């Protein structure tokens, strides 16, 4: 028997309301991350590194920048019948958009009928992690079940933040129940202080997936969600298994970042994920060449850190500086600086994330802030220092004190 034919679907239609204003003008998977990447690059890199070369990206919400990024960056060889293709809502079942992730697949079943795969890998587009999906596919095939759900171990005290997978103690690879943000879960048999949280990644037998989303599509009580409706249906029929990320071995992984996974669905988690990147021993290592994270190759000069005309030294501490950025006599600390940013003389950027083309003029201060693309911070301006003033200027300030400035805004002193 030959290897199974595998088809991959990336669910990238999310609106990302909790990431506003970063998603005001773009889909959540298109949000820049780590300097030169977009969030979707992590899912696509994992699939490609896993040997999966027939991939569709189902898009919907404000998808122009996402579609452009996929078309410009993710061009595989047509001679080898390999591709990454964006697929918008096609309205094949009527004049309507996707009403949920399961409905997105239902409306795109023509893609499966064209490819006729044996196995369908379905992943989200907005998580930061590394994973070899070929190992999960092998485990799924060996299980004989219809669906396998990827899961990561989390402290039991954090169970109320995730969808939790309750396993059968006698058959620990089988899902007994799926619990949505439980307050009193039972710990794992081999680790009572941990629970298994769903990662939003699935491996299906193709025929089972087609049948499930077709039945779900005519159910008026369904919310048409993969995690909320489709997977629980398989759980009830005893056909759902779990794949613990702890079984997954990614080449080049370190002990520190081996099982890293972060849902960056909120401003706080997005900010924290960037802080994970910048330490000397990063919690998530972008420099693993054995399992690279691919993205658009920028036609840009190297970053430059120089002394300014006043003799101030440009200084960076525990930071990521992207291509094309120029740091002129400024102090950068615990920050991620995006492509073509300009940081001027005597300014300070601390514990912050700057997107593409941000300009910080001389003697300005940016502290615990996220500045979207093309923001201009004028000379002597302050961002993230006085939260009441930040709110008065219309900026978003989280409860933890992170200031977010939307695309193209000019900040006066």
Chain centre distance of CA 211 = 28
Is the pTM higher than 0.85? The answer reads: yes
Under 8 Å between Cβ of 244 and 283:
no
Q: Is 334 annotated as a binding residue?
A: no
Helix (H, G, I), strand (E, B) or coil at 143: helix
For 71, 191, 238, the CA distances from 169, given in Å and listed in that order, are: 46, 12, 14
* H-run or E-run covering 127: strand 127-129
CA distance 145 to 301: 51
The encoded tokens of residue 86 equal 């964006």
The encoded tokens of residue 306 equal 């120089």
CA distance 281 to 328: 26
Count other Cβ atoms within 10 Å, centred on residue 39. Answer: 27
Hey, what long-range contacts does 14-19 have (CB within 8 A, 24 or more apart)? 14/61, 14/124, 14/125, 14/126, 15/61, 16/61, 16/126, 16/265, 18/265, 18/266, 18/267, 19/264, 19/265, 19/266, 19/267, 19/270
For 302-344, the DSSP string reads PPEEE--TT-PPPEEES-EE-TT-EEES-EEES-EE-TT-EE-
Q: Is 163 annotated as a binding residue?
A: yes
Q: Is 181 annotated as a binding residue?
A: yes
Count other Cβ atoms within 10 Å, centred on residue 183. Answer: 7
For 51, 75, 164, 313, the CA distances from 81, given in Å and listed in that order, are: 13, 11, 38, 52
Q: Is 198 annotated as a binding residue?
A: yes
Residues 6 or more apart whose CB falls under 8 angstroms from that of 287 comprise: none
Helix (H, G, I), strand (E, B) or coil at 213: helix
Domains of the chain: 6-278 (3.90.550.10), 304-411 (2.160.10.10)
CA distance 162 to 129: 16
How far apart, in Å, do the first and last CA atoms of the chain sit?
Answer: 69
7 forms bridges with which residues in the sheet? 120
Query: pLDDT tens per residue, the chain (413 residues)?
Result: 578 999 999 998 777 788 999 999 898 999 999 999 999 999 999 999 999 999 999 988 787 888 898 888 888 876 678 899 888 877 666 666 676 788 889 988 999 999 999 999 999 988 999 999 999 999 999 999 999 999 999 999 999 888 899 988 888 788 998 888 888 888 888 889 999 999 999 999 999 999 999 998 888 888 888 888 899 999 999 999 999 999 999 999 988 888 999 989 899 999 999 999 998 888 899 999 999 999 988 888 999 999 888 777 888 999 999 999 999 999 999 999 999 999 999 999 999 999 999 999 999 999 999 999 999 999 999 999 999 999 999 999 999 999 999 999 999 98
């Amino acid at each position: 028997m030959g290897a199974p034919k595998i088809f991959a679907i990336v669910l990238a239609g999310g609106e990302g309301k909790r990431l506003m204003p970063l998603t005001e003008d773009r889909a959540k998977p298109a949000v820049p991350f780590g300097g030169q990447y977009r969030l979707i690059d992590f899912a696509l890199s994992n699939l490609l590194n896993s040997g999966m070369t027939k991939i569709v990206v189902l898009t919907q919400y404000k998808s122009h920048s996402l579609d452009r990024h996929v078309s410009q960056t993710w061009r595989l060889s047509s001679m080898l019948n390999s591709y990454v293709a964006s697929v918008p809502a096609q309205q094949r079942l009527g004049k309507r958009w996707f009403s949920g992730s399961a409905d997105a697949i239902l409306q795109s079943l023509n893609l499966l009928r064209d490819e006729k795969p044996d196995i369908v890998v379905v992943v989200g587009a907005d998580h930061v992690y590394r994973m070899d999906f070929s190992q999960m596919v092998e485990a799924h095939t060996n299980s004989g079940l219809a669906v396998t759900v990827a899961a990561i171990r989390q402290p039991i005290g954090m169970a109320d933040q995730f969808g939790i997978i309750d396993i059968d103690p006698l058959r620990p690879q089988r899902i007994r129940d799926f619990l949505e943000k439980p307050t009193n879960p039972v710990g794992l048999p081999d680790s009572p202080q941990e629970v298994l949280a769903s990662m939003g990644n699935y491996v299906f037998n193709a025929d089972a997936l087609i049948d499930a989303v077709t039945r779900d599509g005519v159910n008026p009580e369904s919310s048409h969600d993969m995690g909320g409706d489709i997977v629980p249906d398989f759980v009830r029929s005893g056909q759902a298994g779990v794949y613990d990320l702890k079984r997954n071995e990614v080449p080049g992984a370190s002990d520190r970042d081996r099982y890293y996974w972060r849902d960056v669905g909120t401003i706080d988690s997005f900010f924290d994920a960037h802080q994970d990147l910048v330490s000397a021993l990063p919690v998530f290592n972008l420099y693993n060449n054995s399992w690279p994270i691919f993205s658009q190759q920028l036609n840009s000069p190297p970053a430059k850190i120089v002394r300014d005309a006043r003799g101030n030294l440009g200084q960076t501490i525990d930071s990521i500086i992207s291509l094309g950025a120029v740091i002129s006599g400024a102090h950068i600390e615990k920050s991620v600086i995006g492509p073509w940013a300009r940081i001027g003389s005597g300014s300070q950027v601390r514990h912050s994330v700057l997107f593409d083309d941000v300009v910080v003029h001389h003697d300005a201060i940016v502290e615990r802030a996220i500045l979207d693309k093309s923001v201009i911070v004028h000379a002597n301006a302050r961002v993230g220092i006085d939260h009441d003033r930040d709110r008065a200027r219309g900026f978003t300030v989280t409860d933890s004190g992170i200031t977010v400035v939307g695309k193209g805004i000019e900040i006066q002193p």
